[in-house]
Structure 1
Amino acid sequence: MIKTLIFDFGNVFINLDIEGALQHALSTFKIESLSDEMTAFNSLYEQGLISTNEFLGFYTENFPKLSKEDLIKVWNFMLNEFPEHRLKFIQNLKKENNYKLILLSNTNELHINWIKENIPFYNEFKNCFDAFYLSHEVNLVKPNEDIFKFVLNENNLKANTCLFIDDNEDNTKTAETLGFKTWHINPNTEDITNLFNIKTHLFD
């Protein structure tokens, strides 16, 4: 029986334009693809292993014509709207109190700062969860097994009583190998608010 719902943040609650952001970055940087070093720095930043100043310093060193403000805009380009009906959905779940609610997101300080500034109900949203894990704060990232084991241990949970929802298939595959039930949500065709209409079999 499912007792805990574990949600990703991006493309589950807040809409993202990942491909558009990548193309915007490549165009701005005037490069054809991200270098291995850039990908590595991005990952270190998402894990909170380097500071925002170190992260921006790396990019200003490599692209000196761009200001820190320019770089922040490029980095945050993927962040779009947070439809309010999704806030109401999670608020109703909290009110009904049938499940433990956990958020588990790969993110970073700049993205969260943008969300705090641009999503007026961010604190209301955050307060709906029993636990709220951001990769840069816990120094762990999906799809690595250790972040899922961390959530289980921190909350004294068994994987087979948890439903994990994420738009990234690598993340759901790792969760499945550990015994979680999963929903690999397609943000183009599915909405988290339809969970109990289209995914009832996951609760059997």
Structure 2
Amino acid sequence: MINTIIFDLGAVLIDWNPDYMYRTVFADEQQMRDFLTNVTTSDWNEEQDAGRTLQEGTELLVAKHPHHEENIRAFYGRWIEMLGDAFEGTVEIFKELKESGKYRIYALTNWSAETFPLAQQKFEFLNWFDGIVVSGAEKMRKPAPEFYQILLDRYNVNPQESLFIDDNYRNILAAEKMGINCIHFTSSEKLREELVAKGIV
């Protein structure tokens, strides 16, 4: 029986997208795509999520791509402009789960420890969680099994009695290997359907 819900944050509850800021930097969409794909890559950003400082990550990239220095420095210099709105449909589900009083609810997120406080300032619902485990603070990230284990141990969570919701299928597979029940998030509407089918909402 499920007694614990674990949410991912980015792309599940919170809309974060570098496009929002970089569309004000690049006049050409393809140039922006090339920059985000080949310079400020997902792999590079994930190292900051895993605990590398924003300054170190920035300087490493500037040294590698000096002709893109200004645009590279904008990534974290103007990071707040990449933070969109909440996904209200998912927030409503979160609220229903919280108000039911049936579940402990946690967040397990790949997020830089330096930028996460900016999200906390913007989104009141981040205060609703019974606990949040942030990769940047722990110096490890999904899909490392050790990262999931931090949450399980810290909050005394039985994996078989928990449900993990994440948009990244890589992270879902890692959680399933640890015996955690999972829903692969694709939309708030689909999430509600799956939770209803499981008798959770």
Q: Which bin holds the TM-score, normalised by the shorter protein?
A: 0.7 to 0.9
Selected match of 2:61 from 59, 62, 70: 59
Counterpart of 1:101 in structure 2: which amino acid? I
Give the Cα separation in 1 of the matches to 2:109 and 2:36: 28
Going from structure 1 to structure 2, the CA distance change for 1:88 and 1:191 (only over 3 Å counts) comes to closer
Unaligned ranges ≥5, structure 1: none
| 1:139-178 paired onto structure 2 within 5 Å | 139-178=139-178
Percent sequence identity over matched residues?
Answer: 23
Q: Per-residue displacement from partner, 1:54-108 (whole Å, max 9, x unpaired)?
A: 1222223233353365232676675322144544443343232210000011111
Deviates more, 1:136-145 or 1:57-66: 57-66
Q: Distance in 2 between matches of 1:95 and 1:32?
A: 40
Relative to the length of structure 1, the TM-score reads 0.76
2:129 counterpart SS class: coil
| Cα offset, 1:138, TM superposition | 1.4
Aligned to 1:198: 194
Change (3 A) 1:2 1:40: same
- Supply the AA of the counterpart residue of 1:128: W
Give distance in 2, aligned partners of 1:175 and 1:13.
19
Question: How far did 1:38 drift?
Answer: 6.2
Hey, what's the Cα distance between the residues in 2 that align with 1:134 and 1:163?
Answer: 18
Write the distance in 1 (CA, Å) between the matches of 2:137 and 2:197.
34
TM-score (normalised: structure 2): 0.77
1:98 to 98, 102, 109: 102
C-alpha distance in structure 2 between counterparts of 1:148 and 1:203, whole Å: 25
Q: Secondary structure in 1 aligned to 2:15?
A: coil
